[in-house]
Amino acid sequence: MDLEIQQRVIDLTSKFGAENMIVMLGGAEAEASGLSAETVCAGDPTFAGPLAGIALGLGVYHVVESEVKNEFDPAVYDEQCGMMEMVLDIDSIIGEVKTVRDEYSKYNK
């Protein structure tokens, strides 16, 4: 997660409150998605960005998780994410994000 996005997460969390925030990920790899999830929940694990040492505990989900997917209009989801689901290791991505969320998120919706 780049430094600009980390700062946006801090700014939005300050404005709306951590309990009112959910971060939606769309990364194509499990490891990258897990790192992004950890960054917004437990703080930047690389200690390089604005979230270094800041555990926001935000709720975080990947767009392919059923909890999220079921909230979209099926036609829109298929148009925007359908091809992605065919080529990604969905189970690994979901497992990685869920593990981080279960361990560090204080605000699961």
Any residues with CB less than 8 A from the CB of 66 and at least 6 apart, and which? none
25-44 pLDDT per residue, tens? 999 999 999 999 999 999 99
Mean pLDDT of 68-75: 94
19 C-beta neighbours (distance < 10 Å), count: 12
- pLDDT of amino acid 109: 65
Exposure string for 44-56, b = 16+ CB within 10 A, e = fewer = beeeebbbeebeb
- pLDDT of amino acid 58: 97
- To the nearest whole number, what is the mean pLDDT of the chain? 95
- The H or E element spanning position 21 is none
Q: Which of 35, 37, 55 has the alpha carbon at shortest distance from 46? A: 35
What does pTM read for this prediction? 0.92
